[in-house]
Amino acid sequence: MGGTPVGYFCEQNMMTNNQNMTLNRITLMFPLALVLFEFSVYIGNDLIQPAMLSITEQFAVSATWAPSSMSFYLLGGASVAWLLGPLSDRVGRKKVLLAGVAFFTLCCLLILLTHNIEQFLTLRFLQGMGLSVISAVGYAAIQETFEERDAIKVMALMANISLLAPLLGPVLGAFLIDYVSWHWGFVAIAVVSFISWFGLKKFMPATQESRKQPKQPFSHIFDDFKKVLSNRCFLGLSIALPMVGMPLMLWIALSPIILVDELKLSSVQYGLAQFPVFFGLIAGNIILIKIIDRFPLGKTILFGLPIMLLGTLFLMLGVIWQAYLVPCLLIGMTLISLGEGISFSVMYRFALMSSEVSKGTVAAAVSMLMMVSYFVVIELVRVLYTHFHIWAFALASLVLIVFWFSSPRHALKQHMLARQQDGLN
């Protein structure tokens, strides 16, 4: 299939779904309410992950179980995305979003009653469904509500606010380990999530309800997914998302083992080591907001990925040159997160708008592809890490970014060319 036909159909779909709500203080209240829930879901991982060494010790299991808390969290997100997206198309985004927030809040309280690692991971799986509420329902609502470039700016702004989670999470997690029980972390997360429920109930625009689809047979959901997943344009643009996001996800999952268990940093030093990494991601999102109107949409991706590649080379330099391992790890991960911040929001927009199927279903498909990929790769690298240690992390990151420069880069180039031919900047 040639580049122009693929890109043409992608662009037609984007044009069909474009909306005209402008960005102002009033319309921003919905994204701010959503990002409060997003913050609670993300800190549900970033606050707890540093405490996992203490949790595994309490449950009398190996420290190698620590990354499983994150991978099961992600798997939980993938498990219901197929349902939540299409369901929100039919009954309305707001109802599904509010129900999902309430369920996440309840699961944060139920995990306080667990007595072994199996029960704990089961509740982590259920909590992870909150990820799908955000990605398959919340993000779809954002993309439908705002114009193309405004939607990308809103996503980048939300990312910067939600990045308080990985910035504060390691430090607060260290505090939990040293001074109080990990249980209080889940109590605090439940409180924040509960507050966001009221914000969403009040500020989520009623226009989302007007997009509900007429009731159709349940099998129609699978027909829609088949249509989305057989779309080569969608697959070409979507497969790039987990590649770009994976190195940072691996870092979040493995850094407690790398920095604390293997390199013997204190829990406070571990928390401080995360600051440059996530400041890099914040800086990338700020740069994106500043430059997105100056270049053709998609050009920032071509700026960001070479920066990420340079970061993976620093990771490799660190594992080869062990005397400078920690500085190389932090420099490399900061560059990787900077490049991801510049690239990811635009990539997500392209993937979401690449199919004519309803946006809830498309967002669900994107969410499933990403989270299943995250689960599989994190668990695979976790196993490899027991044999090859930091080499497994560094090589996996390098391979993922190098692979982006093959077919995903080609799909992006085709898509950008089609936009140019259709007169879209």
Cα atoms found within 13 Å of the Cα of residue 75, Cβ hemisphere only: 16
Handedness of CA 304, 308, 309, 313 (dihedral sign): positive
Residue 21: CB atoms within 10 Å? 15
239 versus 335: which is more confidently predicted?
335
pLDDT band at 375 (very low <50, low <70, confident <90, very high): confident
* pLDDT over 80 (residue 22): no
Nearest to 41 by CA among 123, 172, 131: 131
Q: How far apart are CA 321 and CA 282, in angstroms?
A: 29
Query: Concatenated DSSP letters for 97-114?
Result: HHHHHHHHHHHHHHGGG-
Cβ-contact 137, 72 below 8 angstroms? no
Residue 214 phi/psi, 5-degree rounding, is -65, 155
- Per-residue DSSP letter, 256: I
Residue 89, pLDDT score: 79
Residue 413, pLDDT score: 85
Residue 220, pLDDT score: 74
Q: Calculate what percentage of the chain has a pLDDT beyond 70.
A: 89
Q: How far, CA to CA in Å, does 2 sit from each of 6, 7, 310, 356, 411?
A: 7, 9, 31, 19, 10
Q: What does pTM read for this prediction?
A: 0.74
Handedness of CA 302, 303, 309, 312 (dihedral sign): negative
* pLDDT over 70 (residue 19): no
* pLDDT over 50 (residue 243): yes
**What mean pLDDT do residues 393-402 have?**
95
* Domain 3-421, CATH: 1.20.1250.20
Length of the chain in terms of residues written: 425
**What mean pLDDT do residues 134-152 have?**
80
Q: What is the distance, to the nearest Å, from the Cα of residue 358 to the centroid of all Cα atoms in its chain? A: 21
Q: How far apart are CA 274 and CA 265, in angstroms?
A: 12
* pLDDT over 70 (residue 51): yes
Nearest to 318 by CA among 298, 336, 342: 336
Handedness of CA 258, 261, 263, 269 (dihedral sign): positive
Q: Which amino acid is at 148?
A: E
The lowest-confidence range among 89-103, 154-168, 171-185 is 154-168
Residue 206, pLDDT score: 63
The lowest-confidence range among 117-126, 151-160, 307-316 is 151-160
The lowest-confidence range among 18-32, 56-70, 229-243, 380-394 is 18-32
Residue 1: CB atoms within 10 Å? 9
Supply 237's token pair: 């643009």
**What mean pLDDT do residues 30-42 have?**
89
**What mean pLDDT do residues 374-395 have?**
90
- Per-residue DSSP letter, 424: -
pLDDT band at 351 (very low <50, low <70, confident <90, very high): confident
Average pLDDT score over the chain: 83
78 versus 346: which is more confidently predicted?
346
pLDDT band at 54 (very low <50, low <70, confident <90, very high): confident
- Per-residue DSSP letter, 169: H
* pLDDT over 50 (residue 145): yes
Cβ-contact 347, 241 below 8 angstroms? yes
Q: What is the distance, to the nearest Å, from the Cα of residue 347 to the centroid of all Cα atoms in its chain? A: 12
Cα atoms found within 13 Å of the Cα of residue 1, Cβ hemisphere only: 13
Cα atoms found within 13 Å of the Cα of residue 424, Cβ hemisphere only: 19
Nearest to 227 by CA among 404, 86, 407, 416: 86
Residue 213, pLDDT score: 53
* pLDDT over 60 (residue 169): yes
* pLDDT over 60 (residue 8): no
Cβ-contact 325, 273 below 8 angstroms? no
**What mean pLDDT do residues 67-88 have?**
84
Residue 287, pLDDT score: 92
Residue 255, pLDDT score: 87
Supply 111's token pair: 């995990």
**What mean pLDDT do residues 34-41 have?**
90
* pLDDT over 60 (residue 14): no
